[in-house]
Amino acid sequence: MLFEEKAAAQVLAQEFAPNLVAQRQPMSESGFSTNERSLAFQNKIGARVLPEFLSLRDVPSMKQHQGSAVAGHYDIDDEGVPAQDINVVDKGYLKALLSSRVPTRRVRTTNGHQRGGGAMFSVLELTSDTKGKALSRADLRKKLLKLVKDRELEYGIIVREITDQNILMTGLFPMLQGDMPMSSGSGSLPLVEVVKLYPDGREEAIRGVEAAGFAPSLFKDIVAVGKTQTTHNLLARSVIPSFLTGGSQFMISTIITPDLLFEDVEVRPREGDMPTPPRLARP
């Protein structure tokens, strides 16, 4: 499955980036954790979380990238600490977590990432350290089709847009009075714009599907990335739930990433009926 441009940034923002934030698990009176969200990397510092040809850094000092404004930029966090640029993942290995003044077992000090009630990613930039793994858009498609041939499949999948969590929860869902397909289970991504890519280059649109079982560990198996990066500004869901911090539910962030080619992602139909598609073409 190939995630192009905006979709690559969306999948990184929704399924990988939240796990880069240091969290202290709040405990209930009975001693059980009351938050199990985005905790995959809390004890993974020093472990491999991406392919060895990829690195990831959080750069709140960045104001522009290739002529595009970077909305996640800030100078001082909400606790008055100067923002720090952090090499989060170096050549595939997790080196640090983004933190606030709230200490955890593995992270005892802040690196200036308290925003909107809790620690939060700001400007994440994914880069390739190996030239052979960074391919043009045409070569990425050829790589996808080679995987299709090797596995004796009929077609590959290209994703161009994923359901935006902020727009879904604050706009579409209330507007449609709940008549909107939701993801069915943890790690499920509702896909908005998806096509089948056949070996002859033909594309065929798909409706009503989702990527299933999308865990952070899946990012270790990225096969290749694109040469050019996409800068995507978004309102990202706060990693530490707002009902625990009293802060904002969504925070302005930026994801800078090339296209991402995954070898093995499950795609399945969504449960329930799909709304009738618009009769007019998209402007």
Residue 28, C-beta contacts closer than 8 angstroms, at least 6 positions apart: 34
Q: What is the rounded average pLDDT of the residues 266-282?
A: 73
> Phi-psi category of 46—alpha, beta or left, where left has phi over 0 and alpha has psi -120 to 50?
left
276 within a domain of the structure (yes/no): no
Q: Which residues, in sequence order, are CB contacts of 163 under 8 Å at separation 6+?
A: 183, 189, 190, 191, 192
What residues contact residue 128 under an 8 Å CB cut-off, 6+ apart?
53, 54, 134, 225, 258
Answer whether residue 30 shows pLDDT above 80: no
C-alpha span between 35 and 104 (Å, rounded): 14
Q: Residue 70: how many CA atoms within 13 Å on its side-chain side?
A: 23
Residue 280 identity (one-letter amino acid): L
In a domain, 275, yes or no: no
More confident: 272 or 240? 240
Instruction: Judge whether 84 lies within some domain.
Output: yes
Indicate whether 257 belongs to any domain: yes
Task: Look at residue 186 and tell me whether its pLDDT is greater than 70.
Answer: no
Task: Kindly tell me if the per-residue pLDDT of 226 is higher than 70.
Answer: yes
Residue ranges making up the domain that contains 245: 2-23+36-269
Q: What global pTM score does this model have?
A: 0.86
Report angle CA 103, 108, 112 to the nearest 5 degrees: 80
**Spatial CA neighbour of 86 closest among 95, 76, 78, 77:** 95
Q: Quick one: pLDDT at residue 32?
A: 47
Instruction: Band the pLDDT of 200: cuts 50, 70, 90.
Output: very high
> Is residue 277 domain-resident?
no
pLDDT at 33 over 80: no
Q: Specify if 157 maps to a domain.
A: yes
Indicate if the pLDDT at residue 273 is higher than 70: no
Compare 27 and 64 and report the one with higher pLDDT: 64
Distance of alpha carbon 20 from alpha carbon 239, whole angstroms: 9
Q: Is residue 274 part of a domain?
A: no
Give residue 274's pLDDT band: very low, low, confident or very high (50, 70, 90). Answer: low
- Domain tally, the chain: 1
Is there a domain that residue 283 lies in? no
> Averaging pLDDT over each range in 184-188, 243-247, 253-257, which range is the top one?
253-257
Whether the per-residue pLDDT at 35 is higher than 80: the answer is no
